[in-house]
Structure 1
Amino acid sequence: MSGQAPRQPVAPKVSIVLVSYGGRTMLNRCLRLVAEHTRVPHEVIVVDSGSEDGTDRWVGDHLRGGRGHVLGRNVGFGAGSNFGALDARAPYLCFLNADVEVGPYWLEPLVDTLDREERVAAVAPVLRGEDGEVQEFGSVVGADGWCRAWGDGAPLGADDTLFAHDVDYASAACLLVRRRTFNQVAGFATEYDTAYFEDVDLAFALRAAGFAVRVDPRSEVMHQRHGSSGSDTARELMELNHSTFLRRWGAGLAGRPALPARDKLPHRFYAARDVLVDERILVVDDRVPNADRGSGDPRTQRLLESLIAPNRRVTFLARDWQRATEYAPALLAKGVEVVWRHDNPFQVLRERAGLYDVVIVMRPHNWQWIAEAVEQNQPQAVLVYDSESLFHRRCEQFAAEETNPRRRAELEREAVRQRKVEEDAFRWSHVGVCVTEEEAEWARRIAPDSEILVAGYPVEVPALVPGVEGRAGLAFFGGFMGGAGSPNELAVLELADGVLPDLVAAHPDLRLSIVGADPTKAVRALASDRIEIVGRVPNPGWWLAKYRVQVVPMRFGAGVKLKFLDSMAAGLPFVTTPVGAEGLRLGALAKHLVAQSPVEFVERVGALLSDDALWTDVQQELLTIAGTWFSHRAFDGEVDEILAACGVAPQR
């Protein structure tokens, strides 16, 4: 039906306000798409600002399901929007241009942001043009008062530029604002002529009142640039209203950098973009964290989340693009800038020269890759090396068990090389980070001038953990991203060949499930009536809560192994080797959970399979250890210690 707007709810969550000036066809299309794609309870208010093409009569006579107001003259976008806001009933106002086309799930993310973050007064989506390229994702305001759209011209799919963050201003072509706060700052300033700069002014007023303006990459709309007014008229209005903006806010712009062309002086553009934050932290690792695939990635994910704070820019630089498009969106939505589309680290850090207060490099091979670029382009930064584990120890373990003399000599040389790299990385750093106190003691000896701290692996213990009833079978949980010959593959093969047969002899119905991403060919070949290859699972905690015991006879590895912390959090007792138990703070529990031979594995696992009371006691002790030493709260405290050592004040 012509002029169709959705039926008005009794208690709307959002009041959608459109100001029209001509363009009846465009307005009708916009309203139709709003009705089709908006599931949030809302009302629609249309204010016609003196249209001369019959749109005013159409709004007054044909608008269905919304409330229309016809003004006798063109009062401009700001005054017209203020008029519509006076008629609003909802706690949130959504100012929407008629030249915007909304799609599925356009409004929910914006509402979610205001629901969760009280400090945010306004939030905007990604504005894309008809060709799919980004028009704007918030804007940067320079010392001269002119604005530069962030992401302008970025092609469809270049999502590494689009992360949730506070901005100087976001376009009111589509802007969700708290009605209470909008009224508190007296709405849009009415000093501006017709259109342009009212939304910039509003953002500055909201910030002066102590609030933030944010952009959210989870929401996207299509915007026809200057669809409501011709481009020549738009330029004239911009020039006129720019002068008004300078009169109102020019004094506060003096300390801002000028905005050069981004392709000529990009480091100044990034500095201008980040003018709203006090601290800038860069984290470097192998890839965008594949948090459900192990290999240290869950810890990296949690580190990034722990670093997020209102006045802090957190940037993650991935060495390669492995599964980036799959895993980056969650971090982008949380406010982490994720950079993975790059040719080399020198280019990235050169474009951001002098930007970062702290640079955190994770793992030795990444330190080798990036250290020189950091030294040349971020000389002001506090340098942090996070080892994740001591890689040379694993190589030493392989060498110690190798029977072929030539291969052993190769492994010993590689262990020496890796150790040298790790020693150099710790000595390079101002602050070094290890995952266990044992590894930290080694680092303190070889790098006495660096401050060495510990930050382990965090896990979340659910409020309700199933007990022994209903649990059955054995589990091996761990990812196989390391491929053939990795510690996890070797541990699974040892379990299947050296431990499981004797356990089955005592427990004929026993079954083993191998849970974890990227199982290798050798692991997949173990599949049988007795051994199930589950592979990657989206919710490891749910799976681990099914089993009676996890068994991991691993001979190689360093640092804390996340599989055991996940096992603790799921209330799943495990049996492993001294290598596997490193850093787990087991204390007296070690006599039940640590084995050094196949015979001991069979004894320890057999006891947990047959003795419900012992199993329950062990489970409760493991849950206590997880909650005390490896909780998110404990990890956040360790991250705060690292930041304090870097001269960055914690914000929790």
Structure 2
Amino acid sequence: MPHNHITKVLVIGYVWPEPRSSAASGHVMQILETFLQQGWHITFSSPAGPGEHKADLAAFGIREVPIELNNSSFDHFISELAPDIVLFDQFMMEEQFGWRVEKHCPQALRVLETSDLQSLRHARHQRLKQRLKLDPEQNDFSDVFAPALSDKFALMAETDLAKREIAALYRCDLNLMISQVEIQLLVEQFGMPAQLLHWCPLMIDPPADQAAAWAERANFLSIGNFRHAPNWDAVLWLKTTIWPLIRQQLPQAQLHIYGAYTPPKATALHNVKEGFHIMNWAEDALQVMSVARVCLAPLRFGAGIKGKLVDAMLCGTPSVTTPVGAEGMHGEYSWPGAITQSAVDFANSAVALHDNEAHWQQARAAGHTLLTERYSQSVHGPALIEKLLYCMQHLQRRRVENFTGSMLRHHSHKSTQYMSQWIEAKNRCAKESD
């Protein structure tokens, strides 16, 4: 590549980024900012309609181009753009557009941004549903939270979703993984080559710790996009079991639950008398997190790493969560609060953090250490750029070495291509006959 060449990046998003609504969008924005710092030219495209809280990408100097599924207009668009890197945001975008990218820009580096392993999240959801069906009253989920990688593999291996998702990972030249546990799972259990995976967690440079003190804070807080199934399940577990246990010990306690896209079923849970407040969307998530004393994240299933828990650390707010909530987040460092497996332990830990200032201070300090040591943008940003440049430089060799990927591209892209062309022809006929 000539020295004066400006790297062009095309990002194909499953949705338009809404960083104030979801951690996945926040991560995409952090990656875009890292590219912008390099002076790279970025075009963001998505077949989705703009959401209520869409980021103004144009204000960052990012070109916005809506695209359509199953439409050859994309072929002209990408041929003209001729990007050096194509970043698929979520594996379904690779399924839809990967063959078109390969056909019209074979030399572009194809990168997949996973956010989380969806097949792991869905497999855990199924297991939780089965468990609740068998024993709806049980509130110790230590068996559901089984940490062994082989258990996760057994849950996922039979599912169509895992086969689709892992095939997409193989078809790409590089995959950005937000969780080291998921990298370990893919390498050790699914046999994926480690060189196809790059650890890229949420990237934040923490400010000096100036957060409000214990005495200046009040209440418990829970936050998360209601459209995300693990968050809704967490709210239900809080309402039915955990919150009543907390209120038994702290009769005046208040819980504020924030989330984008609040459905009527959530609003219906609002109960002032119980101190259970559904607050809708937080205009500024960090502001509400900064005045809360304890963040509650009772996640019974999920994957990836949790933006709300990084936000809590950023605001100096200790958190109580589950092994699923903390998975892949703290490495060898102490958790800034508590990790629990049952409703009783969760409630007791929440009360202890809320009422014991020394315990609270210790948790808060642990959060600051964890952010600094594991989530530093000044470490992960340059590492990401270095990896992308290395992959572009050694692209042909990497593709030859990834025989499984080229085999999967050969077979699945042909079938996807014919299906897509058939849908396009069908749509065209329907329009002509109208």
Question: Equivalent residue for 2:15?
Answer: 287
Provide the aligned length of Structure 1 versus Structure 2: 367
Deviation at 1:339, TM superposition (A): 1.2
Question: Within 5 Å, which residues of 2 pair with 1:15-94?
Answer: none
- C-alpha spacing 1:470/1:337, structure 2 compared with 1 (3 Å): same
Partners of 1:516 and 1:593 lie apart in 2 by 23
Question: Within 5 Å, which residues of 2 pair with 1:143-158?
Answer: none
SS at match of 1:281: strand
Partners of 1:428 and 1:550 lie apart in 2 by 39
Whichever structure has more helix as a proportion of its residues is: 2
Which runs of 4 or more aligned residues in structure 1 lie more than 4 Å from their structure 2 counterparts after TM superposition? 326-329, 341-345, 404-407, 412-415
| Pairwise CA RMSD | 2.8
Partners of 2:55 and 2:260 lie apart in 1 by 20
- C-alpha spacing 1:376/1:514, structure 2 compared with 1 (3 Å): same
Cα deviation code 1:134-184 (max 9, x no counterpart): xxxxxxxxxxxxxxxxxxxxxxxxxxxxxxxxxxxxxxxxxxxxxxxxxxx
SS at match of 2:15: coil
SS at match of 2:159: helix
Question: Within 5 Å, which residues of 2 pair with 1:326-475?
Answer: 330-340=56-66, 342=68, 344=70, 346-353=72-79, 355-403=82-130, 416-444=159-187, 445-448=190-193, 450-459=195-204, 461-463=206-208, 464-475=210-221
SS at match of 1:543: helix
- C-alpha spacing 1:310/1:490, structure 2 compared with 1 (3 Å): closer
- C-alpha spacing 1:343/1:589, structure 2 compared with 1 (3 Å): closer
Partners of 1:477 and 1:621 lie apart in 2 by 21
Q: Percent identity of the aligned residues?
A: 23
- C-alpha spacing 1:391/1:467, structure 2 compared with 1 (3 Å): same
Report if aligned partners of 1:545, 1:572 keep a CA contact under 8 Å in 2: yes
Q: Does 1:476 align with 2:222?
A: yes
Code of the residue aligned with 2:159 in structure 1: it is V
- C-alpha spacing 1:420/1:521, structure 2 compared with 1 (3 Å): same
Cα deviation code 1:260-315 (max 9, x no counterpart): xxxxxxxxxxxxxxx98521111111122011111511111121121114652211
- C-alpha spacing 1:284/1:440, structure 2 compared with 1 (3 Å): same
Give the stretch that moved more between structures: 514-523 or 448-457: 448-457
Report if aligned partners of 2:17, 2:55 keep a CA contact under 8 Å in 1: no
Question: Equivalent residue for 1:565?
Answer: 310
For structure 1, the 5+ residue unaligned runs are 1-274
Report if aligned partners of 2:111, 2:174 keep a CA contact under 8 Å in 1: yes
Partners of 1:608 and 1:392 lie apart in 2 by 34
Question: Equivalent residue for 1:302?
Answer: 30
Partners of 2:252 and 2:305 lie apart in 1 by 32
Question: Within 5 Å, which residues of 2 pair with 1:459-538?
Answer: 459=204, 461-463=206-208, 464-482=210-228, 486-529=229-272, 530-538=275-283
Deviation at 1:522, TM superposition (A): 2.4
- C-alpha spacing 1:328/1:604, structure 2 compared with 1 (3 Å): closer
Deviation at 1:559, TM superposition (A): 1.0
1:582 to 310, 327, 335: 327
Report if aligned partners of 1:392, 1:419 keep a CA contact under 8 Å in 2: yes
- C-alpha spacing 1:424/1:346, structure 2 compared with 1 (3 Å): farther
Code of the residue aligned with 1:352 in structure 2: it is I
Report if aligned partners of 2:299, 2:324 keep a CA contact under 8 Å in 1: yes
Partners of 2:375 and 2:270 lie apart in 1 by 34
Deviation at 1:428, TM superposition (A): 0.6
Report if aligned partners of 2:217, 2:293 keep a CA contact under 8 Å in 1: yes
What TM-score results when the alignment is normalised by the length of structure 2? 0.78
Report if aligned partners of 2:8, 2:41 keep a CA contact under 8 Å in 1: yes
Partners of 1:562 and 1:443 lie apart in 2 by 22
Report if aligned partners of 1:471, 1:548 keep a CA contact under 8 Å in 2: yes
Report if aligned partners of 1:359, 1:384 keep a CA contact under 8 Å in 2: yes
Question: Equivalent residue for 1:620?
Answer: 365
Higher RCO (C-alpha 8 Å, min separation 6): 2
Report if aligned partners of 2:170, 2:196 keep a CA contact under 8 Å in 1: no
Code of the residue aligned with 2:76 in structure 1: it is R
- The higher radius of gyration belongs to 1
SS at match of 1:283: strand
Whichever structure has more strand as a proportion of its residues is: 1
SS at match of 2:215: coil
What TM-score results when the alignment is normalised by the length of structure 1? 0.53
